[in-house]
Structure 1
Amino acid sequence: MCLDGYNSAIAVTVLGSSSLASMFKTQRPGNLHTRSVAMLLRRALGLLSFVGAALAQEALPYVDPDNGIEFWGITDVVHSVTYGYVFPPLASSGPQPTEYIGEIVAPLDSAWVGYALSGNMIDSLLVAAWPYNGDIVFTTRYATANVLPDVYPGPIITTLPVGTYVNSTHWKTEEVSTSIQRLPFPLGNCHPDPPMFPLTQLRRAQSTIAVDTPSDPGTSMVQHTDFGFYFFPFGEAHVSAELYDNWAAGGTGGGNSTGTGTTTTSVPPPTRTQAPVDYIIVGSGPGGIITADRISQAGKSVLLVERGGPSTWETGGRYQAPWAAGSNLTKFDVPGLFESMFTDPDSFWWCEDITVFAGCLIGGGTSVNGALYWVPSDNDFSTSAGWPQEWVNHQPYTSALTARLPPTDHPSTDGERYLEQVSTVVAEMLKPQGYSNVTINNDPNYKDHIMGYAAYDFIGGQRGGPVATYLQTAQARSNFKLQIYTEVLNVVRNGSTITGVTTNDTSVLDGFYPLNPNGRVILSAGTYGSARILFRSGIGPTDMLQTVQSNPQAAPLMPAEEDWIDLPVGYNVSDNPSINLVFTHPSVNSYDNWADVFTDPPAADAAQYLKSRSGIMSQASPRWNFWSALGAPDGITRWMQGTARPGAASINTTLSYNLTNVFTITAYLSTGIQSRGRIGVNAALNAMPLVNPWLNDKTGSDEAALLTGLNNIISTISQVPGLELIMPDNTISMTEYVKTYDPSTMDSNHWVGSNIIGTTAGKAVVDPNTKVFGTDNLFVVDASIMPTLPYGNPHGTLMSVAEQAAAKILALAGGP
């Protein structure tokens, strides 16, 4: 009998990677959001074609020199922590074994270390270990949601007499873990048919911050200070009963050990080296995918490195809504599941080490957003918007984008629009204010007092974007490779020349990925991710570089101080300040506030979508959009974008209302805003805002313009019978509402500008060719180079940026 089901066997787990974000209670100063961030990959890992990419972090066999136990595991090259496991043989019939032998070897600066064999925090056993008074303390825990897990008393952990110690430099534990019953997948490959995935994703984590009470296995503990991913071949990690029983009883020998009791244990150093390429592109968001496609199209060898995993079905994703089981549709494929991105307890797609919402998966933000898609205007690339003159002629690149990825305002395959009552009501309210009803993308330059149906980059009733278009053509080329679950830590510099990147890939020497002669690195890790990589590479303001230098894991990878490059990385950041107004109208259908779209939507709607990719599920929640130009005390015009959708994320009102009739208008202040913020990293190198970018301009004109726009929106409520504003309610003025608005909910997650483009080093981070000042071959192509916010959501403008940047980089002399 093969292992099967949830009560099958053999495993302990300790904290793993992003699973640890909410595994233990965390109160981190400066966090803008409290959110659940769960594990990567709840189900099987993607299509077979992606397994090769994942192999870069595969566990290898090694022999412990202390006692001769034959483990399979890795040594994390950044923290020098070894994780190893060995399992007893699988039973041919009857109950399966419920134990294993594991080990951790860690330097003393690892206050605690953890691993997760199940690949999931929720409904999985969790284990952590740390040294205390010369001994090792273990904790086993279990969680059913993203909260501090309860202590789980079932497992029994027994340390082995040979191989567990604390010395002057390291601590090491070797333990037998028994009575393990909670694992959501089998640990052996004994299925009747060959398994598609002989490797299972595991997580490892460590912290430099000690637990609250180290003598107590039930202690509280803050989240890890670093984490990583690797893959484990469970089918190969079983040994004979004779060997296993000997080791579990404390015996030595077997394997190749002499049993001499040496004082260190580690996996043999990796011997594989990564093949050099012409271009390493970091991050598979829209900037990275489009740039990689165009550069590989030019015949250059391209390695696209993504720290997360699959998203849509065609990328290998398999995370499905229960009602979509049996279809080729993941959560990320179905537009109507957009609202559930923020409520799903298994939200592995968010980057755990960034304190605002950021997508860590193939497609980045374009795989998890509402996919609103506005063709950029001429003003969005004007010199008045901060762009160098070389960028003003954007139209050839914007046309190339829309030819590959045309927007649509009727994504349902039957051509119908659904759940459009909100559009009708909002249009009735805005028409008396002089708004014209238009097809918005027909004239991108026309953005004053216009309104129309929301436009998306969905294709055939499913999520489209660069993943469904540019990535597919890139993958058809032999000179392109996508590597997932691989995090780039920093670029490797020889003065101004980049020779490659350092990754968390434990299967290659020092995690180093090299470039060909004259090769180039392009950072496309997003406004936060690219800035952090620059900091870790000795590029940025001194205070951030010193923060990195004080981190014991990152410091050894930094260049010498004399090679630091002082640039305003992290400054000049913009994001749309946004305010929600909540209304009710008797004609509106809130669609049960999107509460059950993932678990149990209306059966007829689910069936319609599965049959023909049509109906309510073929569209994300936004239904109607509008723009207006606003005056302000400083004489600078600001623009406001409004987005209307059924339902409401939160309601705080003294008024009675019917939840089935609520809808929200989110008002975003965009082009023309003067407020700026700053982002950076903390001691754990988590990326975060240091100065919020909302409504902080010296004259207060941003706030004044926003108030004008909000008051304009509600000025004609009385002209629409049955329409009522319930938030803010009649107990508070609009001015008070804005002034007391929670800044954490003012965040639109449209962050731009942290690596601003320009013509002068010191005022900008990248030059007009997107090359980082002070370097020969390092570039940035993502939202971080955008100097200001465009009229609408930056999704469309960013994709045009990538088209133009790829062309400029290829045309630049000196490349491969």
Structure 2
Amino acid sequence: MTSFDFIIIGAGSAGCVLANRLTADGRYNVLVVEAGGSDRRLWIQVPIGYGKTFFDRRVNWAYETESVSGLNDRKIYWPRGRVLGGSSSINASVYLRGLPEDFDDWRDMGNAGWGWADVEPYFNRSTHFTDRQGRRTGEGPLAVSEITDQAHPLKQYFFDAAKEIALPRTDDMNGPAPEGVGLYQINVRNGRRCSAADAFLRPAMRRPNLKVETDALVTRILIDSRRAVGIEYRRDGQTHRAMARAEVIVSGGAVNTPQLLQLSGIGPAEVLRRHGIDIITENAAIGGNLQDHLAMTYSYKSRQRTLNNELRPLFGRLRAGLRYVATRRGPLSLSVNQCGGFVRSQPQAARPDLQLYFNPITYSPVGRGGARRYEIDPFPGFILCFQPCRPTSRGRIDLRNSAPESPPLIHPNYLATNEDAAKAIAGGRLIQRIEATRAFQSLIEEPLPPALAGLSDEEILEDFRNRASTCYHPTSTCRMGRLPGEAGVDANLLVFGIDRLRVVDASVFPAVTSGNTNAPTIMVAEKASELILRRAANG
């Protein structure tokens, strides 16, 4: 048994930030325990390689939801990172802070200190930005770069179509005017993925006061007299204990964090009793309030060349590979999510309510079970995709049984409200308008079935129920708030009813942000590190 000042459970986006910030001045000893292994894998380091890790159980929890009634009883595949860097090691590398109003909403829900003016400095502290001329601004560890000079030429059709239907244009979705379509910024440095592990954890691993245990599954938090005192975990077939002098910090993400808290006796009483777990503190919000973005994709055959032409043929893949090895440039150095933006489904919408994606590639899943993978389609193709920004449906994640290695029950409760159904229709209507523009009619050879043009509202919604899937942004399963039962943690991210236990990850979001969730998760960890160090300094 060993003892540390802080124990961090999970080396995902938040855990990596905490490991760096809590060890920076050398005063505190920190243990990080991660269920997955090393991120030193080719398809993690190559930015476009996330398609290769999408089904790879060596680095991916590969969860599946329970049947979703709102999606015609389909089960939805949920990839989540099980590796150093967590989901930042297997995502599409898009860096998107969200809209400033998202965080003002958090503040107005009763979370003082979490408005946009409060959190913007933590976004800035975490990053450095490299523009198209190679000029760098900011001193944060996380690399954010523009792709202007490498974006696929097909982008101009998307921008021309947006202009035809009066969608605004923005040069910086993370800047002062984020509304509109433009090029996404990505977490890539010198042609390689810059995950949270690359940016924050690996520099910290050189410090003698940080210990990182990989391939180690935490089975419970040790609690004595309603105080977190340590953890129990399994590694190499052995059970180990580690004790915390200051705090235990759970950074397992929106799925694993509520699962571990419930295994430790913190959660809904009926769930804990059902699985024979002693109740330490009852809180129905642990596992509740789950939110996620649903994405709907429409695919088209193209009259112009796309990435399919470059990356489907063997010779094209070899050429792209050689270019990448020699220069760290080309399609392998980019995300497939190149264009998109925050837009209003209708001009009268109070604020942007849809996020768009335009990808110059199409691909299809092949195989079954552990052999599943994506293959690029054998024809030039592209994708239009939308996700409603602020879903109102909320679901739950609860224990399946008392075995820590068992996946939890995931009930996302997608499309459970009339408002969410209306947004699904509004998104389909907007894509209809985009594909009907002169720009896109000159580009589209034919839509891949089912074709969207001509569908009624009812048919758009039914298609959405049949085909929509997660955009991999689960949040809020231990959301912050003012009262236990309504929330899992307070505005300082401390778990209600248990001293010295804190949650720092996307599960504390009061509500899902409008866009991709990795950047705001890193922001939460930056702010949390200050809260943790301040409390430690004050004894």
Distance 2:538 2:267 in 1: 24
Structure-2 change in CA distance of 1:592 and 1:524 (3 Å): farther
Q: Is the 8 A contact 1:547 1:682 kept in 2?
A: no
Describe the SS at the equivalent of 1:469: helix
Structure-2 change in CA distance of 1:396 and 1:732 (3 Å): closer
Which residue in the other structure is 2:362 paired with? 648
Distance 1:547 1:732 in 2: 46
Which residue in the other structure is 1:462 paired with? 192
Deviations 1:459-487 (A, max 9, x none): 11100032222113311211111110111
Matching of residues 253-402 of structure 1 within 5 Å: 273=1, 275-298=2-25, 299-311=27-39, 317=40, 319=41, 330-342=42-54, 347-351=57-61, 356-383=78-105, 386=109, 388-392=111-115, 393-402=118-127
Q: Is the 8 A contact 1:677 1:689 kept in 2?
A: no
Deviations 1:470-517 (A, max 9, x none): 113311211111110111111011131111001013687x5211122x
Structure-2 change in CA distance of 1:660 and 1:400 (3 Å): same
| 2:520 counterpart of 1:792 | no
Deviation at 1:523, TM superposition (A): 0.5
Structure-2 change in CA distance of 1:390 and 1:364 (3 Å): same
| 2:314 counterpart of 1:585 | no
| 2:333 counterpart of 1:621 | no
User: Which structure's relative contact order is higher, taking Cα pairs within 8 Å and 6+ residues apart?
Assistant: 2
Q: Is the 8 A contact 2:312 2:378 kept in 1?
A: no
Which residue in the other structure is 1:143 paired with? none
| 2:409 counterpart of 1:692 | no
| 2:150 counterpart of 1:417 | yes
Distance 2:447 2:382 in 1: 10
| 2:264 counterpart of 1:534 | no
Describe the SS at the equivalent of 2:164: helix
| 2:209 counterpart of 1:479 | yes
Which residue in the other structure is 2:158 paired with? 426
Distance 1:639 1:750 in 2: 16
Structure-2 change in CA distance of 1:725 and 1:331 (3 Å): same
Describe the SS at the equivalent of 1:674: coil
Residue type at the aligned position of 1:469: A
Describe the SS at the equivalent of 2:267: coil
Which residue in the other structure is 2:429 paired with? 711
Distance 2:508 2:178 in 1: 25
| 2:389 counterpart of 1:677 | no
Which residue in the other structure is 1:495 paired with? 225
Deviation at 1:281, TM superposition (A): 0.1
Deviations 1:300-351 (A, max 9, x none): 111011111001xxxxx2x4xxxxxxxxxx11110122222236xx541111
Percentage of matched positions with identical amino acids: 22
Structure-2 change in CA distance of 1:453 and 1:446 (3 Å): closer
Distance 1:727 1:430 in 2: 23
Task: Give the total of aligned pairs.
Answer: 493
Residue type at the aligned position of 2:526: E
Unaligned runs of 5+ in 1: 1-272, 312-316, 320-329, 550-557, 652-657
Describe the SS at the equivalent of 2:102: helix
Structure-2 change in CA distance of 1:438 and 1:397 (3 Å): same
Q: Is the 8 A contact 1:376 1:398 kept in 2?
A: no
Deviation at 1:791, TM superposition (A): 2.1
Distance 1:593 1:741 in 2: 31
Deviations 1:494-545 (A, max 9, x none): 131111001013687x5211122xx210000110111110000000112321
Deviation at 1:639, TM superposition (A): 1.2
Structure-2 change in CA distance of 1:409 and 1:338 (3 Å): same
Q: Is the 8 A contact 1:374 1:444 kept in 2?
A: no
Residue type at the aligned position of 2:433: S
Residue type at the aligned position of 2:394: R
Larger radius of gyration: 1
Deviation at 1:286, TM superposition (A): 0.7
Deviation at 1:661, TM superposition (A): 2.2
Structure-2 change in CA distance of 1:777 and 1:600 (3 Å): farther
Q: Is the 8 A contact 1:354 1:688 kept in 2?
A: no
Structure-2 change in CA distance of 1:284 and 1:354 (3 Å): farther
Distance 1:354 1:523 in 2: 22
TM-score between the two structures when normalised by the length of structure 1:
0.57
Distance 1:745 1:713 in 2: 14
Distance 1:605 1:513 in 2: 47
Distance 1:444 1:766 in 2: 31
Deviation at 1:726, TM superposition (A): 3.2
Describe the SS at the equivalent of 1:309: coil
Unaligned runs of 5+ in 2: 66-77, 128-137, 366-376
Distance 2:149 2:507 in 1: 37
Deviation at 1:738, TM superposition (A): 2.9
Q: Is the 8 A contact 2:170 2:177 kept in 1?
A: no
- RMSD over equivalenced CA pairs, Å: 2.7
